[in-house]
Amino acid sequence: MKRRSFIKKSVLTSSVFSIVPSHVLGFKGLTPNNKIQMGFIGAGRQGRGLMTNFVKYDSATVVAVSDVDNKKMSFFSKTFHNELNKNNKTLHQLDEIKYYRELLNRKDIDAVVIATPDHWHAQMAIDAAKAGKDIYCEKPLSSTVAEGRSMVDAARKYQCIFQTGSMQRSWDSFRHGVELIRNDYIGEIKEVKVAIGAPLKVCDLPTQETPSYIDWDAWIGPVPYRGYHDDLACPLEDQRWGKWRDYKPFGGGMITDFGAHMFDIVQWALDQDHSGPIQFNPPSIPAESGLTFNYLNGIKVTHTKWGNGNNEIQFNGSEGRLEISRRYLKTYPNKSLATTPLKDSDTNRVYKSDDHYQDWLNSIRSRKRPICDAEIGHRTASVCNIANIAYALQRPLEWNPVREGFINDPGANLMLDRAYRAPWNYRDF
């Protein structure tokens, strides 16, 4: 059937076919009356949390979920139906698909949410881009600098709308703090202190018996194989966040887990979204904090616990100080700055998003890049991944953010990528 005839017939039969996927219409993007059909890859705690946000929107519908843990996938479906009821949505069946590439082969799915452990992000995102899907990928975007650059390249090649899950960029308090800094309300920034917890550590967990409900080889996927342990893939009944975050090669410690949030705000505030630091200086002895890195403009950032907790940032300027976390925004000596709206004359403003998830859905329709596009997520993840490299090597590193390589340091450059187990190869796109 020719495209024009198909469209005409689709309009006449709209009572039967209420959703016409964009790939059928022959162009990238959806018509205004279509719902964005979504698939979820990763049915764990984070994936379920994201699903409860997307269920609320009338412009999108979740149609499938994929996970190699059958118990988590079934619980995802149950939670999904509860959320539909809670939000007075029409109930519909959610397809459960064990292996994500089968989900990507579905022609009726327009966009995917990737909420898996970090070591899978690059392969899944690039496969999704090749399959023509728009992508929401959890932070940190990648586990290596090379992975992140390939993810950006794939997003550009296949023209997909890519949102990184750094949702603090869509919070009023962080945006206000960033705009206060960009408009010189605390003067020239001299130093930044970031408290986020420890770097990664080598996984030394003993092997346990693998539960029957999980395909452990598929969970391991592209990284070197090791035996099952329930700290890595916390069972459904375990209320902890998965401890895979702490261990190489599955995560990058708190340096990547919360660094992907807090270093991201530093990058945003300092207008470095398409660049990065030029020098990394770790302690010369094993340590979990004390790393500093410097930008070309001389601003120094220190990874250190400076206050009463973690996951908070202190910006020190020539005329004041700004402190921010998810719990507060404080300014000194002028405490009222934290709640004072910016003036019309303050022209150094940033992209405004009040809803990170709706922002992505809006971008899918407009085909304009969202607030935390793949390039931005990659640059923040690069800061985190290089910080881990510096802590591992315990020596200063010179970084070229344009070429994305260490200067005169072939040994360190070998750590910018990693080998993949067959049959996975994220570079093949």
Is 8-168 assigned to CATH 3.40.50.2300?
Answer: no
The predicted model scores a pTM of 0.92
d(CA 242, CA 232): 6
How crowded is the C-beta side of 145, counted as CA atoms within 13 Å? 24
Q: Could you tell me where the DSSP H helices lie in 108-210?
A: 121-130, 145-157, 172-182
d(CA 322, CA 51): 34
The three-state secondary structure class of 325 is strand
The pLDDT, as a whole number, for residue 14 is: 33
What b/e sequence results for 324-335 when a residue is b if at least 16 CB atoms lie within 10 Å of its CB, and e otherwise? bbeeebebeeee
- The DSSP bridge pattern shows strands 292-294 and 279-281 to be antiparallel
Sequence-separated (6 or more) residues with CB below 8 Å from residue 82 = none
Residues forming a β-bridge with 26: none
For the chain, the residue count is: 429
Residue 227 vs residues 71, 221, 223, 240: alpha-carbon distances, Å: 19, 12, 12, 20
The pLDDT, as a whole number, for residue 103 is: 98
Burial (CB count <10 Å: 0-12, 13-18, 19+), residue 246:
buried
What b/e sequence results for 388-426 when a residue is b if at least 16 CB atoms lie within 10 Å of its CB, and e otherwise? bbbbbbeeebebebeebbbeebeebbebbbbebeeeeeb
Residue pointed to by tokens 């198909």: 6
The pLDDT, as a whole number, for residue 427 is: 86
Which helix (H) or strand (E) element contains residue 356?
A: helix 356-366
For 244-334, list the strands marked E by DSSP.
Answer: 247-248, 279-281, 292-294, 300-303, 312-317, 321-325, 329-332
Q: Which of 154, 162, 127, 134 is nearest to 28 (CA)?
A: 134
For 67-186, list the strands marked E by DSSP.
Answer: 95-97, 111-114, 134-137, 162-164
The tokens of 120 are what?
A: 């899978």
Sequence-separated (6 or more) residues with CB below 8 Å from residue 414 = none
d(CA 124, CA 68): 14
Is 169-200+254-416 assigned to CATH 1.10.3720.10?
Answer: no
d(CA 335, CA 352): 24
d(CA 177, CA 322): 8
CB 365 within 8 A of CB 32: yes
- Any idea where the domains of the chain sit in the sequence? 8-168, 169-200+254-416
What string of pLDDT tens digits covers the 429 residues of the chain?
Answer: 444 443 334 333 333 323 344 444 444 555 444 899 999 999 999 999 999 999 999 999 999 999 999 999 999 999 999 999 999 999 999 999 999 999 999 999 999 999 999 999 999 999 999 999 999 999 999 999 999 999 999 999 999 999 999 999 999 999 999 999 999 999 999 999 999 999 999 999 999 999 999 999 999 999 999 999 999 999 999 988 999 999 999 999 999 999 999 999 999 999 999 999 999 999 999 999 999 999 999 999 999 999 988 999 999 999 999 999 999 999 999 999 999 999 999 999 999 999 999 999 999 999 999 999 999 999 999 999 999 999 999 999 999 999 999 999 999 999 999 999 988 888 888
Give yes or no on whether 8-168 and 169-200+254-416 have one common fold: no
For 226-287, list the strands marked E by DSSP.
Answer: 247-248, 279-281
The three-state secondary structure class of 2 is coil
